Amino acid sequence: MNLLLFIIVLIVSFIVVRIGAIAFQLTGLEWSLAKFQALSCFTATGFTTKEAELITGHSQRRRIASTLIVLGHAGLVTLIATFANSLRPAPTMPRFTIPFLRAIIPSSLLPWINLIIIIFAVYSIYKISTRTRLAAKLTLFLKARMVKKEIVKPVSFEELLVATGGYGVSSIEVCKDTPVLNKALSESELRQRDITVLAVERGGQTIPNPSPDTKILLGDKLVCFGKLENIRTELCLSPQ
């Protein structure tokens, strides 16, 4: 029973981390960074990198991180308890057992068999959840459900790099509600807000170092450098 519970909790933990990663991605984090931060929150390890500023400085991400931390502590306690009980030597065989099991498997070997099963289960679940089409389909399914249920409101930008002091590079897709839509860069006053447009992606082509008279059109992607909080405030109207 403890062994089965351990495997179930392990599977649920992987799913929770994947949901957390999807939630972070929907708020604008790049996928690999979203996965790392979700795992960091769930396991309460490795959460001291510069990228942590992207979580602590964003209200929606702080809620996601808090949920992952709470679930992670509960899951860790359960995993440790069930793991320890699975490896505890049983003084007697279970009441309900296969008649010839006692002759084939001595009770003293059951903890070692359980350990082998646990190792195999951890390895299999890890492989399935990270390197198969099933994981990709599960991610797409969970993302679609989360967007449909509005569990996390997606944003129209992606933060690519974080630098010292909260500065970084963001790729923002221009939509009909973007404040700078149909304005030239010189009219947008982004420079006055400490935001520099490094490139404009339009129709599959990239305009590097765009000139001040470059007009911002619907569907453009602006690659900007500046303080990430300012970029979110000035170029993205999605809830933060």
Q: Which amino acid is it at 175?
A: C
Cα separation, 29 vs 164, in Å, equals: 17
pLDDT at 87: 67
Contact 184, 216 (CB under 8 A): yes
pLDDT at 238: 44
pLDDT at 139: 82
Q: Residue 165 has which token pair? A: 């002091």
Nearest alpha-carbon partner for 19 in 83, 75, 87: 75
Cα separation, 58 vs 157, in Å, equals: 14
Q: What's the N-to-C CA distance of the chain in angstroms?
A: 44
Name beta bridge partners: 227.
Answer: 167
DSSP letter string, 107-150: GGGHHHHHHHHHHHHHHHHHHHHHHSHHHHHHHHHHHHHHHHTT
Strands 157-162 and 167-173: antiparallel
pLDDT at 208: 92
Torsion of CA 67, 70, 72, 78, to 10 degrees: -140
pLDDT at 169: 86
Cα separation, 109 vs 103, in Å, equals: 12
pLDDT at 98: 46
What is the residue-level pLDDT of the chain in tens, covering all 240 positions?
667 777 888 888 888 988 998 888 888 777 888 888 888 888 877 655 566 666 766 778 888 888 888 888 888 778 777 777 766 655 444 444 445 445 555 666 667 777 787 788 778 877 776 666 777 788 888 888 887 777 776 766 666 666 556 788 888 888 888 888 999 999 998 988 889 999 999 988 899 999 999 999 998 989 999 888 888 778 865 433
The C-alpha angle 227, 33, 53, rounded to 5 degrees, equals: 35
The pTM for the full model equals 0.58
pLDDT at 232: 79
